[in-house]
Structures are given as C-alpha cells and as structure tokens.
Amino acid sequence: MSIMGLLFGLALAFASRIFRVELDPKIEKILSALPGANCGACGKAGCAGLAEAIAKGDTSLTSCPAADKEAYNKIADILGVEKQSIAKKIARIRCGGGKSAKDKYIYQGVKTCSAVSLIAGGKKSCNFGCLGFGDCVIACPFDAIHMQKDGIPIVDPETCIACGKCVKACPKNIISLEDADLKYYVRCLSRDKAGFVKNACKVGCIACKICEKLSQGVFIIEDNLSRIDYNKADDKTPWELCIEKCPTKCIVAQ
C-alpha cells in the first residue's frame, strides 16, 4: 500500500508539472494590488477574476469600487499605462421618512423590505418611502450602513465604498450612488402632490419652491420634487439658508 501511495504521488506530481497552466505574472501583481474584498461589486468572480480582466484589457483598471487611489496607481504602474483617478462616490438614502411616515397597514410577515414590498408596494403610505427592515444593511459587505432608531438607515461616508450592493437590495429604489464631494441633497424622492405628501410623511418634499427662490435656480422643482442642479451652484449658493428655511427639513448635508 505504501509503495502504491508513493507511485500515485509521483504520478500526480509529474502530471501537475506537465499540465499546469502558467499564470500571467501581471495578473498576480494586479491581484496583490487589489484590496482582496472579493465583494463581487465589480461584476467579476472575485478579485482574481477582476485581476485577469484588467490584465487582458477587458475592463478598466479602476473597476474595483473597494480600491483607493494608491491601488489604482499601483495597477497603472504594473500595466505601464497612464495613472487614472475617479471621483469618490458614496451611497445615499434618499428618504427621511421612517417613523415620521404613516403606515397604511400593520405588517406581521417576514421582516424584510423585499417581502413587505410585495403587499401593496409596502406598508408605508408614501409609495416612495423606506420600508425600514434593513435589507440594505444586510447586503452591505463593508458594514457601512446601520439602522437608526427613527427607522431609517444611515450610511457611514468613511466606510462606504459605493459597491452598489445596497442599491440592488432596496426594492423601493431610494438608494443611489452619488459624488461624495456634492454633499447637499434632497432626502426625498416622492413625486406625489403636496397634499398627499403632507398627509403621508412629515419630512417629505412638498415642492413649496422656497429653496428654488432662495438659491436662484440651483434648486429646481420638477414633477412635485426639488432637485439640485450643481452646474448652477457656486460659492454664493445659500446652502445653509435653504436647509434652515425648508419647512419639512428634507434638504440635508452629508
């Protein structure tokens, strides 16, 4: 038995030498430069799959959301190409409702957003509101989202790497990936008329146009909802005044 085991071992060793596939040294170097999160946010089968795709030129060297500028520079040096950088993005919860928004029924089923959304679009009176069961929290592989006592998740801008997992997990589509440098935003996506919004949620946008007038068009009211045109913003834009005068406090800064 010992002799047979030795022979089989030698045969396997010989076969591994004959049939082994040589790995491109660039792939190994790129893999070592990546953060190793294996989160799948790049759309590949882990970091190894992404490293191979970058080495072959099938995808951009900045395709890893979890990587930073230093990692991108290392990969550029490995490939011998020009260094690239991308603007940092973070996930933003575009709803401030939570416990401030009315429920239209009592839900006693499976406590996930995906489950409750199957029943009349969710338990909230606002059809655009956060359902509050934290599917986004569970989906985040970087522990960057946490539920607050008010029933709304909050994103840690220091930890979030904009992988997009939370965006896919939210059945109400109220999470978006946005430029982290553009810190002011409207924490509401309701396009219902003011009368309905007032009845459904205390902190929803009622399209009152106060922000539009104060900002001289940086804030724009469209489809019953305020949005920001950053192309019109400058150092004179009265951001804090708009936040102060907003009657429902749905304009926020992160």
Q: Is there a common fold for 22-86 and 87-178?
A: no
Tokens of 203: 């902190």
The predicted pLDDT at position 23 comes to 62
Q: Region 145-158: what's the mean pLDDT? A: 94
Which fold does the domain 87-178 belong to in CATH? Answer: Alpha-Beta Plaits (3.30.70)
Domain at 22-86: CATH code: 1.10.15.40
pTM of this prediction? 0.77
Rounded distance between C-alpha atoms, residue 122 and residue 128, angstroms:
10
Rounded distance between C-alpha atoms, residue 167 and residue 65, angstroms:
14
Instruction: Name the band, by pLDDT with cuts 50, 70 and 90, for residue 169.
Output: very high
Question: What are the structural domain ranges in the chain?
Answer: 22-86, 87-178, 182-254
Write the class of the CATH domain 182-254: alpha beta
Rounded distance between C-alpha atoms, residue 118 and residue 166, angstroms:
18
